[in-house]
A and B are shown apart, each in its own frame.
Chain A
């Protein structure tokens, strides 16, 4: 392996880590601001201009707080659980192209803004994101707290429910594209808006979107850490930096799943022009915004309702969708 390739990959990893750690922090700021505006409040206003430095204040607070491991908690698992959430969120980013490839200015060095274009890209991303659910699951089981225990049970039930939908809904687009690589998905839709998979697979798009809410634990399916039912669920016993790691993982996940939805169904970065790159980021921003929007508008549903919805409603629809796609492709 070339030294240049290794160096380039390392730089890309560092850039992605830094950018998305910062974005995860800023994501909390956006969430608080947008929720506040939708509820006719102002949100954070005091730290920095328009409260922009609130993120820094929160960061300093989280990083300097005492790290508490409760008495009856299973220490090693309790300590490793937040790391699982944050690490898997960032590991999933390895197979996501964040921008079209571009040439470095003043050189002819071509940069591919993807850490590893593996040919099982989407499988890898979904797999690693699924592993991320071990963070809340192990953390809540290890923290010897009743609310965390309920959260663990919910995590397991949510997990087995939405994973079926993500897999089955993706099957139909995968049959059309014939590749797992997100770059191939993007190139399949590079011809313009008419080529987007959302037009040929609207049902799959909706199902995947719904499952993304369960995957990231956002509001209609905000069951694992439902503040008004089970305190903070898996986060009840966590404090300081470990809780912050859970948070970073959660918000990074929201960004990455937004990227993935756009890449899979909405044409990604298109033909790779500068306009396409900006459109890519814009579409991603819409999906991130939608996560916050629903939180202001919609109520949460019960875990049994989520399971009912996933298994009895969405899964049959996904299966029918796959069958119909198969028939259309055959004839």
Chain B
């Protein structure tokens, strides 16, 4: 698209055409002729044929939802997951607080302390999913791939407290120890072929 095309705000020029619709019949005789031509041309039977064809093909598109689920995109942004390191199984979160800082709906809250090895340790980490708008900033900003967006989109609960449960979001420890934590492909991880997509940032606009 050239710049001239792009800057043309008058989108109706050339892009639209008028559909050829005959005028409505005026006289009774014209109406009768229209009815007969439509009845004899067999348009009604075309409709019947279409639905019968679909019934015989039996190409059913129903997904019986609670029993079956459609696959969702790998970079879908649903409820967060807290990742662990592959081998040691320790939490990846280093308590830097960037996610808490960047969260535009103020739903992440974390408490940290310095542990006996004088490393920063996260003592409390909650995400209020009732407030979260799933923008994905936290996963984008996380330097350690500790907080990512998973694919769990069913979050009905009777208790508001269930929306903040850190244990639910954390990858189970035994899974990590068994080496069953796969490389995370979803939102928050680096997209495939990222190197080829990187463009140099212009210094001046």
Q: Which residues of A contact B (CB under 8 A)?
A: 34, 37-42, 45, 293-294, 296-298, 308-309, 312-313
Interface check B32, CB cutoff 8 A = yes
Give B124 Cβ to nearest chain A Cβ, in Å: 43
Supply 11 further A-B pairs (C-beta < 8 A) apart from A40-B59, A297-B48.
Answer: A38-B55, A39-B51, A39-B54, A40-B54, A40-B60, A42-B60, A42-B64, A297-B51, A298-B44, A298-B48, A308-B31
- The answer to whether A294 touches B48 (Cβ under 8 A) is yes
- The answer to whether B35 touches A309 (Cβ under 8 A) is yes
B85-97 toward A: CB 8 Å interface, digit per residue (1/0)? Answer: 0000000000000
Residues of A within 8 A of B58 (CB): 37
Given contacts A312-B28, A312-B32, A296 and B60 within 8 Å (CB-CB): no
Q: Which residue of A lies closest to B66 (CB)?
A: A46
Classify the interface of chain B: helix, strand, loop or mixed.
Answer: helix
Residues of A within 8 A of B114 (CB): none
Q: What is the CA–CA distance of A296 and B47 in the complex, to the nearest angstrom?
A: 9
Give A64 Cβ to nearest chain B Cβ, in Å: 26
Give A211 Cβ to nearest chain B Cβ, in Å: 15
| A41 interface neighbour in B28, B32, B60, Cβ under 8 Å | B60
Residues of B within 8 A of A297 (CB): 44, 47-48, 50-51
Number of interface residues of B (CB under 8 A): 18
Give B54 Cβ to nearest chain A Cβ, in Å: 6
- The answer to whether B51 touches A293 (Cβ under 8 A) is yes
Residues of A within 8 A of B60 (CB): 37, 40-42
Q: Which residue of A lies closest to B64 (CB)?
A: A45
| B32 interface neighbour in A38, A39, A313, Cβ under 8 Å | A313
- The answer to whether B62 touches A41 (Cβ under 8 A) is yes
- The answer to whether B28 touches A296 (Cβ under 8 A) is no
Given contacts A40-B54, A312-B28, A312-B32, A298 and B61 within 8 Å (CB-CB): no
Q: What is the CA–CA distance of A275 and B149 in the complex, to the nearest angstrom?
A: 66
Q: What is the CA–CA distance of A39 and B53 in the complex, to the nearest angstrom?
A: 11
Q: What is the CA–CA distance of A34 and B56 in the complex, to the nearest angstrom?
A: 11
Given contacts A34-B55, A41-B60, A313-B35, A293 and B48 within 8 Å (CB-CB): yes
Residues of B within 8 A of A298 (CB): 44, 47-48
Residues of B within 8 A of A294 (CB): 48
- CB-CB nearest 7 A-B residue pairs: A297-B47, A38-B51, A42-B62, A296-B51, A37-B55, A297-B51, A38-B55
| B61 interface neighbour in A41, A309, A312, A313, Cβ under 8 Å | A41
Q: Which residue of A lies closest to B36 (CB)?
A: A313
Q: Which residue of B lies closest to A35 (CB)?
A: B51
| B52 interface neighbour in A38, A309, A312, Cβ under 8 Å | A38
8 A-B pairs with CB atoms under 8 Å apart are: A37-B54, A40-B59, A41-B62, A42-B60, A298-B44, A309-B35, A312-B32, A313-B32
Q: What is the CA–CA distance of A126 and B3 in the complex, to the nearest angstrom?
A: 73
- Count chain A CB atoms within 10 A of each CB in B28, B51, B62 and give the residue with the most: B51
Q: What is the CA–CA distance of A298 and B52 in the complex, to the nearest angstrom?
A: 12
Within 8 A of A (CB), among B102-157: none
Give B46 Cβ to nearest chain A Cβ, in Å: 9
| B54 interface neighbour in A38, A308, A309, A313, Cβ under 8 Å | A38
- Count chain B CB atoms within 10 A of each CB in A37, A42, A293, A309 and give the residue with the most: A37
Residues of A within 8 A of B54 (CB): 37-40
